Amino acid sequence: MLHGSLAGVQNERMFDWNDLRYFLAVADEGSTLAAGRALGVSQTTVSRRIAALEEALGWPLFERLATGYSLTDAGRELIDYARRAAEHADALASAASARIRSASGTVRITVEEVYSVTVLAPIIRELREVHPGIRIDLDTTGEVRNLAVGEADVAIRSCVTPDDPNIVGRRLFRDNFGFYCSKEYADANGVPAAPAELGKHALIAGGGGGIERAYDRWLASKGLMDAVVLHTGSATGLLSAVKSGAGIAALPCIVAEREPDLMRCYPQATDNKSYLWLLTHERLRRTPRVRAVIDFLYTRLRKLAV
């Protein structure tokens, strides 16, 4: 029997628990090739992980035969332990998943209003269907909420990278902006074919909050402020003004590309180096309700990348 000897080996060496699934797959399938197919990995990966497990345990688990892999005495003795370990691991994963699904409480999300009323609204509806115990509190003011002091739980924010090491998150996609106008405006005035032609058109500026700061700074850097005929204090006002035919404005591509009445003036996006991020504070990242919301939003928003 191996019990006494294995105890001594395990005190000296630690194996990778993930290697147990390779052990079980080869035992069940009879070869590393078949096990690789079952696991969706290469035969080489299976062989390497089996070798690593055998080295860590200090016992050969399989006899390599021309007809395939056959369990050794050590392998036969350890197989039941491996199956029970795998069952417990699956149970743990299921319990963790169930805990997230049953998450409850309020999650405060800070986000620019234009994202909230366009792309985010249907996603929040879906989230509520999946997580009925979670209440969403949307903060769409132009203020930059401080996650570190608890002014919000989750932020959907445009930045290059978070500037606070205690703020963690998941990067969604580049926060591209493009110049858009309504089809009515295009029919009446034509459209600029390149950035150099923007000054010949009626431009709409503003947008409120971070959008306004970045957009107006860009317009000023290009000498285009004299072409501005309308300034709005919110991003939804900017979107509405463009849809009304009042002029041309830079809008988030993720928003504007989903407006059937709008058209992009030219393919080139503004030189925005920022990304859209899902952010939270380190102390909240494993809180079930916060994790459930971030995971759900990430999956849905990533599909909207343009």
Rounded CA gap, 201 and 27, in Å? 71
Backbone angles phi, psi at 104, to 5 degrees: -145, 165
pLDDT of residue 136: 92
Please tell me the distance from the alpha carbon of residue 136 to that of residue 134, in angstroms, as a whole number: 6
With vertex at residue 104, the alpha carbon angle to CA 101 and CA 108, rounded to the nearest 5 degrees, is: 115
Please list the pLDDT of the chain residue by residue as tens digits (306 residues): 444 434 344 444 567 888 898 999 999 999 999 999 988 889 999 999 999 999 988 889 999 998 889 999 999 999 999 998 888 877 776 666 655 555 778 999 999 888 888 999 999 999 988 888 899 999 988 778 989 888 999 999 888 888 888 999 899 988 888 999 999 999 999 999 988 999 999 999 998 877 888 888 889 999 999 999 999 988 899 999 999 999 999 998 989 999 999 999 988 766 667 889 999 999 998 888 999 999 999 999 988 876
Contact (CB, 8 A) for 163 and 169? no
The pLDDT, as a whole number, for residue 9 is: 43
- Domains of the chain (ranges; CATH) run 3-100 (1.10.10.10), 102-175+274-302 (3.40.190.10), 177-264 (3.40.190.10)
- Specify the residue for token string 């996603």: 123
- The per-residue pLDDT for 208 is 82
Would you state the pLDDT for residue 79? 92
- Identify the pLDDT of residue 270: 62
Cβ contact 36:43 at 8 Å: yes
The pLDDT score that the predictor gives to residue 7 is 39
- Give the β-pairing of 68-71 and 62-65: antiparallel
- Greatest CA separation found in the chain? 89
Distance CA 103, CA 288 (A): 5
- The pTM (predicted TM-score) of the whole model is 0.63
